[in-house]
Every structure is written in structure tokens, then in C-alpha cells.
Structure 1
């Protein structure tokens, strides 16, 4: 593999050399639990992290490793670890950083499930989250305290389509000596490369665009390899002696690969959030067409959003790809290849009209997913964001009178025709 290859070439070839045993050109599905050791010394070296290799598929698997290599290449990272879901990836990203009494700063504009995970579930670990509007950099700086261990945001938010000023947020994180974690699921590395904008870690739900066909549950964490985990005593899991490995210090031993090694040797070992090899295989196949698909997703989304904005039955379209959006200038500057294909729109008639519209759609699928080749629609406030308070719904971009669309790669005229007939029913 060459580091000089362009993105679309990496999307096909990174991590996918011909199988050394058979010459198979596509990455095989290594459906195995364990791996034969050469001898006792070989096994000991693997377990001591003195040699890289395969031990047990909870930790490492050749199919999953091929995917990890590709994801790291596409995001421009030093390493990646794949896991069982996007939610698992978020915990995997935080696990080496946090501890009882520690907190993270989270954007107010997040997927509803992430808000619940951060506001409720992580409390059981003794962690906590402070939710801040990341457009207010002064408020962000003020929220950081001695116990803050990370800042978390989405590059493009779900469901409101808001685009984050990643370089500005990364500058605040860098000044505070803490990592910036960016969920890049909606943008994908086609539209945004957060590590190049100063982020430390990128997380993905592989379930969405990277696989792209609604068949896989999976997640991933990609590390920039650039953060100095030993610059302070804030991150002892990476900088201090690890008792489980006879005092080994991950950052001292593995350098830029420290986070990735820790996530496999400690995170996957003890949390067990493993990605299965068949899911990895499906995602590898999905990434091969990622560049082509994202181009079509964005082209369709712009046309649909412009059509909706001009329709008198629609009161508002929240999409940074529209010239009328307050975030259009930012999107043009930071996301020049497009502002994604997820956005909200409000229907005249409010909540009741939204419910009628969802029921009248024929081409669109009414599902709790996004990033599929198919166009999808959902009423976020009553489903994916149902657990949030009215104030949290507004902050997250999921008001009661809005429908979220995930624009697929079908013919755009068919997409618009379906919305047209559904709007007629909803506003009759």
C-alpha cells in the first residue's frame, strides 16, 4: 500500500493485499475463534505485547484488521480499532481517558442516544458530561476544569445537520491539554477529515455510510497518533505503568500507536465490544464505493433541500448546504465537498402534519437508521430523541414539528415526487 495513493484508491486497496495462503483477491472472512501458536515462546511474546499477531478473535482477527487498516488510511490516522457498534466506539474512545470523578465536555448538538449515554449511562462508571454549545468558545473554555478529560462533538450533527467549527474547537482542546473526539459518521472522511483539523480521535458508526446498505452493526475509533499522553498525569492508563502487563507503559512503549494498542489489549480484552469478521467484510466492501456514494448523496440532498425550501407547505429547512443557512459559510470553508445528506425540515401544521407525512411516504423507508443507499425518514422527537427534554430537543435540532431525512442515492426526481405527494396528504 502506498501513502501517496488518493482517497478513492485507498478505499479499495488499503488493508486488502491478496491473501498470502490462497491468493484470494478479496479479503477472506476469517471465521475463527482462535489461532495456532508456533510454540510456547511465541505465545508468551504475543501475550506480553512483545510481538504483534493473532491470539483470540475477541482481540484481533485478520478480516477485522484489514478493515482497521483501511479506516486508519481513510481518516489519515496512525491506527484504528473496530468494535461492535457506534455506541460501543464512544465508550471505547473514552475508556482509556476517563475515571471516577472525571468529566467530558459534550456538544449540545448530538444524536439523542449519545445525549442519553453521556447524561445518564456513563454516570454508572463515575463519569459525567457537561453539555455546551460549541459555537460559544468562551463557554467551552469556562466549562473545562481540572477533571475534564475530553471534548466530544459530531462533525455534522444528527439530526439537525449543523456543522461544527472543528479547528476552533480543536484549538481550545489543545490549549487545555485534552483530546478532541469527533464523531465523523455523518460526514465520513469523504467530506471531512477531523484529524487534519486538530482532532485527536475520530469515532464512527460503521452501520451508516461506511457500510452503506443497512446490513451491519459496527463502530470504530481512529487515533491521530499525535497526542502526547505523557505530557501530564491526566491519562495514567496510557502514560503510567499498567499492572496487567508487568508495569508496561503504553505511550512509552508504543508511541503513536499507544491508544490503539491499549484499546485492543485492555479495551477489547475487558469490555468485549468485538466486531465480528463477517460485519468487517461487509464494511470493507461498502468502503470501496464510499466516494462515489457520498458524491451522489450530497448532490441529491442539495436538490431535495432546495426544492423543500421553495415549497409553501414547508416552513423551514435546516441544512448547511443551503445558501440561506447560517452555517453555509462554515460548511463551504471546512466541508467544501458537501454538508452531508441528513437534515430536518418543518411542515406547516406542526406535529400532526409530520406524523401524517411519515405515514404517507412510499419511497422513503420509515426506520431508525441513516446513511443507507435508500432514502429514509423519521420523526426524531418521538423516536430517536424521545428520551430528551423539550429544551434538549431544541438544542439538539430535533424539535417536535420537524422530520429528519436521510437522502439516498435513488433518482432525485423520484425522491422529490414522493415528498410532494406526502406533503399533499400531510397538509390537506
Structure 2
């Protein structure tokens, strides 16, 4: 593994960074397969952009450029597949989106055109995170009242409309290892945002997934199918101000909102959860992107801990991208002129011994810092409980 230099940054409680309200930079556009074997991004400079595939499961990471005769537009979306091909979604003529698979062939790039999707209104077709099965790829088009879910790769006849979902749906988090259960953040009319589960094997059947209070905006940011750990953003603890919290899929315990994940002058966004911690959600490493006026850096945290460790981003980090190994090593993709394709490794520092009589992580109790009468509900849903990523019955 090629490692970039990493330096320790400020401890918890420092308030360096942007003032509240600073816009968060867009993610790096670095998409990784669920098994961590391949990734893809737009590379190049200026108008000379092209797709680039990274291979990550060997002794050293390496990149393969996939240029075509025409450069890619800056808003082209990429998704790697488990066989090493890269799906590209291009918007042309405003509402029309074409889909192709790119792959290396001899000295050039092969392109398999899959077809096109034309959306009915403004906005664009949004690729969802790579499916856990590594074969299929999905996309959403969110209209004002309904959302269309498309299978855009892996089908028999090109892009296929899977379901028309009521409400405006955004986000996209996989809840299982098979690519069947998908979580979306849905808004019905002028109501609050609530995470829902979508069953792709039942024609897009929807069921409630997350509701902390009736009026709160409750979004699901990340989920780990092995441990059941959920990372949530909600304004339930303090209406009008969203907080990061965590819960466990299938648990009756309330959502917790750790104080250590709240920074006054920076935006904190989780981007990777450690896999392989079966039935041990509190032991999962969580990687967080911290954005402030001074730039972006990395937060490392475990639900069982009492602090978020902040470390400087390695040189050339593709901000917001990274994966955990089951052994607890966070691998961050980096690209510099000297090392255009590299991975930096980080681990969560050990926690100090807990104070006598104090339970580890006690300061992370549900509703910490919130109004004491707040009626938090368990995560996930009670109406149609999920235990192994599939609906009961």
C-alpha cells in the first residue's frame, strides 16, 4: 500500500475552520465498488476530462485511463462495476441522459452503449452509489411529486424503469449485501423528510425506516449491513439545527447524538463505516469529512468512544472518499503530481480508560444537549421492522 504523509491535527473541542453557513465543497466524485476492489473518477484538467479506473485490491493501487475521442463533460457521473468496467452517465440536450460502459481494450478504450433515459422535467438523472451485488447500477430522477427509480446497467434490455415512488426522494443508502433493500430520504409535499426502505425485488415497495419525531427531518447517511450501524442526520434534538446521530438497525434503543460530532464552525459528514463488525456496531470505525474555511480534514470516531479524533488530510486526498478494511484501517485515495494514484492508511487511536463508575460513551446518550422532554422513537421503524435488511414476512 502506498501511503502519503499524515500529521495529527487539533484535538476535540478546537473551533478552527469556517464560520457557520460556509458552503460544503462537492464530493470528489470518487465512486468505489461495495467490495472495495475498483473505483472510478473523472481525471484530467480543464476541458480535457476522461474517466479513470482505479484498481485497489492488489499490493499497490494503480489507475487505468479510459479516454475516448471526445472529452467527458464535468457533470458526467461514473460508477465502477465489480468486473472492472465503468458506467458513465452523460447528460445531453438538457433532459436526455445516455449511458455507456467503458473498459480498457488494448491501447484504447472500449465503449458499450446501453441506451438513454429522458427525464420529464428540469434536473438530472442521479446515479445511486454502486450496488452491493457489483453487477447492477441504479439511478433516480426526483420530480416535485414523484420519483422514478431506474435500473441503468445490469438489465437485459438497456435502462429499465423499476418503480414510480410517491414523493421527492434523494440520497441512497444500501441496507444489505445483495442489493435488494435501498434506503431513500423522502419528502411528501411540504412535510418533513423521512428515510424509507425500498424493496427492489417487490417492485419498489416502500416502508417507513426512520422517524424520530413526527415533525423532524430524519435522513439516513450511511448504513453498515454487518453490524447494523446507522449514521443519521436529524433536527429532532434541536429543531432547525441538524445533528449527527447513530442508531442500530433492529434495535429498540433510541438514537444517540454525540456532542463530540458537533462542531460550531465546520460541517461534519460521515463517508465510510468499518465493515465486518458483526453484531458489534459500537466497535465500528467511522470516517468523517470535516469542511471549514481552512479546508477539509478527517475525523475518526467509534460509537463506543467519547471523542472524535481529528487528523490532517493526507496530501492530495480526494476529499470525502475512502473505505475501511475489516481490520480497521481507513484507506484514503490520494492524487498528487508525484503520486497520481495512492492510498493513505489511518487507524482510530485507542480510547483512554473510562472514568470509574462511568459507562463508555455515556455522553452520547440520545438527545444529549436537547430538550429533555423530546419523544425520541427507536431506530429503525416499528411498523415494518428490518433485522437482516429485508422486511418482515
TM above 0.5, one fold? no
Q: Between Structure 1 and Structure 2, which shows a larger proportion of strand residues?
A: 2
Q: Looking at CA atoms only, which structure, 1 or 2, has the larger radius of gyration?
A: 1
With normalisation by structure 1, the TM-score equals: 0.24
Q: Between Structure 1 and Structure 2, which shows a larger proportion of helix residues?
A: 1
With normalisation by structure 2, the TM-score equals: 0.25
